[in-house]
Each structure stands twice: as C-alpha cells, then as structure tokens.
C-alpha cells in the first residue's frame, strides 16, 4: 500500500466524520431555533400575565389561578433556557472537537504515509542492493568482492553511497564488456569512470547522475553533453587528430581512446570532492547519499522478512491459479449458498442483497459448506485443489547469455555460490586495497608506464 493510498483512505474517513459532525451541528441549530422561538413566545406570555396580575387585586380566586399559571410558565421557561444554553455548549464543543479531530487525523495520515514511504523505499533499496550484488558478481567474476569492498568506501572518498557506486560501475562494466574490452580494461574503466563522475559532480556542482550520464554518453560516441556542459571534447575529429594513423578501427578501440582522452582532459577535476568536501554543494550531495545509505541499511534489515511474507502470498496465489475455472465455480456456489441462507433468515431477497438477517459470518460459512456439498454432488473436481503446487520450484530454462561467451572472458563465469544473498557489505577501507593495485597495473599495461 503506497503512502498516497494510505493518506487517501484516512482523508476519506476524515471527510465522512466531518460530514457526520456537520449534520449533528445542523440538527442542533434547528433544535436550538425551535427552543429559541418557544422562549420568545413564553416571554411574551409572561409579560402579559405580569401586567394582568398587577391590575388584579390580591387574594382573589382569579389572581391565585393566574399566579399559578405564571409560576408554571416561568419554571418551564427556565428549563427551556437551560436546554438552549446546553445546546450552545454542545455546539461549541463539537465545533472544537471537529477542528481538533480533523487536524490530528491529517497529521496522523501524514505520519503514517511518511512511515509507509520510508518502509517502501527501504525495501526497494534493499531489493535493488541484492540485485546489484548479483549483477556485480556476474560481471566482475573473481574481482567482484574487491568491487563490493571498494563501493563500501566510496561514500567517504567520493561522496557516493554504496548503492550509487555499485549502480555506476555495473553499467560501465556491462557496456565495456559487451564491446569486447578485456577484463583489465573494463575493470579500470568502470571504477575510474564512477570515481570521475563523483569528482565532476563536485567540480561542476551538478548531480552525480548528470555527470555519470554525460560520461556514459560520451564513451558511447554521443559527445554533445560533455562538450557543451563540461567543456570536454571527445568528438571524432579530435580523436583522429590526436591518434592519427592509430585511430581505432574497432568500436572497442575507439571507446578506449575516448576514455583515455577523457582522463587527460579532466586531470584538473580528479580529487575535487576530497578537496572541497566541506563546501555547501558537496555537503548537500553528501546528505542525499547519506540518506540513501541509511535507507539501504534499513532495507537490509526488513528485506528478508518481507521476502518471506511475499513468498507465502505467492504460494497461496499459486494454489488459486492452479484451481483455474473451478475457483470461479466455487465462488458462484458460495454466493448462491449465502443468498439462500440470508433469505431463509427472514430477510428475503432484499435482505440477502443488503446484508439482512442471516447474512452474517455464520450465514456465509454455512453457505460455503452447503456450496461445497452441492459441488461434491455435482462431481466438481475438488480433490487435490489445496495441494501446495508451489513445492515444485522448477528449473531454469535455457535463456540466452546476457554477455556472449566470446566477449565475457573470465568475468563471464560465475561460481556456484554467486547467487547467495549477502545482506552485509564491507565498511570503509584504506586506499591501498588489492583493487587499487590491480587498477594501477591495468593502467600501466594499457597506457604505458
């Protein structure tokens, strides 16, 4: 249930309550007007009776009779006045309670919607993290744990949350691997490209996604964004002029030449986040990434439990789906049996349709049992309907490889335990990691010492 739906339900409930309160206030006003009119009439009668009493002599029979009527009317008027004042008080209290109730209900709706959104976002973050881990392990193979360890340190080094870092490197790795780059080349491009996106975002004061999107497009040959937004030229003429006869004859060679040129033209950008970490722009981006990190931590806590719950729901749905047309027949029989019980309860057809006598839970359950009995007599296939068909998990079919074997290299292989879900990630590490050494080795091998 999304936060919007939660708020809509509570708001609808509030509107209904407000309508009921307004109806009560309207009835009170009508009642108060009736009493007010009677008070006015009584006061007029009392005035006339008082004038008449002043003219009559004392001790006469007529005077005593009129005096008694005057006293009775005075008492009745006082009682009406009390009722009138009581209605006034009730109206004031109902008006105040309605205002307070509406305000508290909307506040409760907003709080509940916020909690629902946080839970939903956390679950989605936890789910996406698991998927990212699977992608990383598939693409990076034996280097995957080093990449995951690196991603756990990017928030302190580059201001990138773990989920952002994993998302960026997986996209660049998939892109470069599909083009046929070697593992060393694609690993270096993926890590260095993600780090460069963070520094570019810091230097140019743009979002991480905007900087990364520009890099990703530029490497693919769409260089307009890099040129006009960041002053980086990776155009074909620039590359031909730089490399001359060595200009790449394949797409993979041209991508690596674009990446080499990109690194050369952004030397002044590298390390900018570390240098300007305390600047307002960097702190705002870091706050956003820290919120992502907190959401991910919460998601890792609740994802296993919610996954089990969803798994149970799916098992129930599997049973219902397996029932097929029989489920429709059973539903029809249940409805017929319930209507029969309601009509027998004295409500007739109208009672059956409006929830009259005999149409309660007991009546419905009785109708269900009668319907099943009728279905059994008719020979409906009830046998085996409630078997847990979901116990057969099935086997994975023959799906085409995401990355062709000839392009995947060693990273295309995956260990037998690569699909295991691990909800823990390594914390920050020093810069002198094994991956850093591998990056330097790859850089030296490709670009020369």
pLDDT 10s digits, 230-286: 999 999 999 999 999 899 889 999 999 999 999 999 999 999 998 998 888 889 988
Q: Is the Cα dihedral 371, 374, 378, 380 positive or negative? A: positive
CA distance 313 to 316: 5
What pLDDT is stored for residue 329 in this prediction?
62
Would you say residue 219 has pLDDT above 70? yes
Q: Which token pair is 2?
A: 């999304």
Average pLDDT of every residue of the chain: 74
Would you say residue 216 has pLDDT above 90? yes
When mean pLDDT is compared across 41-45, 66-70, 438-442, the lowest value belongs to: 438-442
What pLDDT is stored for residue 194 in this prediction?
95
What pLDDT is stored for residue 281 in this prediction?
86
Biggest alpha carbon distance in the chain? 138
**Whole-structure pTM value:** 0.54
Q: Is residue 180 within 8 Å of residue 252, measured between CB atoms? A: yes
**Of 192, 166, 175, 163, which Cα lies nearest the Cα of 269?**
192
Give the Cβ contact number of residue 284 at 10 Å: 11
CA distance 11 to 245: 70
215 Cβ contact partners less than 8 Å away, ≥ 6 residues apart: 193, 196, 197, 200, 226, 262
CA distance 141 to 30: 80
Q: Is residue 289 within 8 Å of residue 270, measured between CB atoms? A: no
Mean pLDDT of 157-180: 92
What pLDDT is stored for residue 195 in this prediction?
95
| Integer angstrom CA distances of residue 89 from 14, 40, 75 | 23, 20, 21
What pLDDT is stored for residue 341 in this prediction?
58
What pLDDT is stored for residue 170 in this prediction?
94
When mean pLDDT is compared across 137-151, 296-310, 380-394, the lowest value belongs to: 380-394
342 Cβ contact partners less than 8 Å away, ≥ 6 residues apart: 351, 352, 355, 356, 357, 358, 359, 363
pLDDT more than 90, % of the chain:
28
Over the stretch 342-370, which tens digit does the pLDDT of each residue have? 555 544 444 444 444 444 555 555 555 55
Over the stretch 106-163, which tens digit does the pLDDT of each residue have? 777 777 778 888 888 888 888 888 898 999 999 999 999 999 999 999 998 899 999 9
CA distance 257 to 243: 8
């Amino acid at each position: 249930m999304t936060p919007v739906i939660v708020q809509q339900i509570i708001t609808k409930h509030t509107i209904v309550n407000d309508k009921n309160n307004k109806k009560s206030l309207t009835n009170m006003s009508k009642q108060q007007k009736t009493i007010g009119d009677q008070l006015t009439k009584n006061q007029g009668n009392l005035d006339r009776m008082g004038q008449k009493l002043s003219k009559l002599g004392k001790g006469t029979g007529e005077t005593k009779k009129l005096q008694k009527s005057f006293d009775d009317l005075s008492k009745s008027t006082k009682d009406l006045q009390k009722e009138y004042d009581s209605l006034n008080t009730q109206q004031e209290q109902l008006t105040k309670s309605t205002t307070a109730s509406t305000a508290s209900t909307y506040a409760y709706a907003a709080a509940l919607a916020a909690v629902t959104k946080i839970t939903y976002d956390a679950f989605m973050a936890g789910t996406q993290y698991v998927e990212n881990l699977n992608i990383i392990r598939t693409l990076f193979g034996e280097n995957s744990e080093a990449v995951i360890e690196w991603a756990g340190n990017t928030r302190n080094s580059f201001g990138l949350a773990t989920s952002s870092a994993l998302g960026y490197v997986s996209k660049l790795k998939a892109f470069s691997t599909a083009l046929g780059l070697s593992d060393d080349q694609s690993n270096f491009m993926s890590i260095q490209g993600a780090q460069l996106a963070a520094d570019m975002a810091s230097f140019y004061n743009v979002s991480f996604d905007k900087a990364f999107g520009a890099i990703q497009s530029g490497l693919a040959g769409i260089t307009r964004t890099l040129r006009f937004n960041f002053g980086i030229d990776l155009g074909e003429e620039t590359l031909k002029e730089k490399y001359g006869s060595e200009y790449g004859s394949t797409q993979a060679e041209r991508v690596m030449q674009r990446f080499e040129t990109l690194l050369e033209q952004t030397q002044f950008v590298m390390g900018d986040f570390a240098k300007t970490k305390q600047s307002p722009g960097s702190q705002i981006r870091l706050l956003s990434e820290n919120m992502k990190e907190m959401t991910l931590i919460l998601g890792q806590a609740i994802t296993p439990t919610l996954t089990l719950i969803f798994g149970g729901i799916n098992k129930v749905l599997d049973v219902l789906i397996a029932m097929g047309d029989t489920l429709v027949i059973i539903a029809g029989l249940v409805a017929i049996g319930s209507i029969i019980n309601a009509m027998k309860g004295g409500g007739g057809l109208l009672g059956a349709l409006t929830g009259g006598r005999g149409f309660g839970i007991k009546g419905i359950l009785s109708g269900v049992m009668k319907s099943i009995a009728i279905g059994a007599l008719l020979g409906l296939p009830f046998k085996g309907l409630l078997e847990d068909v979901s116990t057969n998990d099935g086997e994975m079919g023959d799906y085409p490889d995401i990355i062709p074997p000839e392009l995947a290299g060693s990273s295309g292989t995956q260990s037998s335990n690569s699909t295991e879900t691990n909800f823990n990630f390594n914390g920050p590490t020093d810069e002198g990691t094994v991956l850093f050494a591998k990056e330097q080795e790859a850089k030296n091998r490709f670009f020369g010492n």
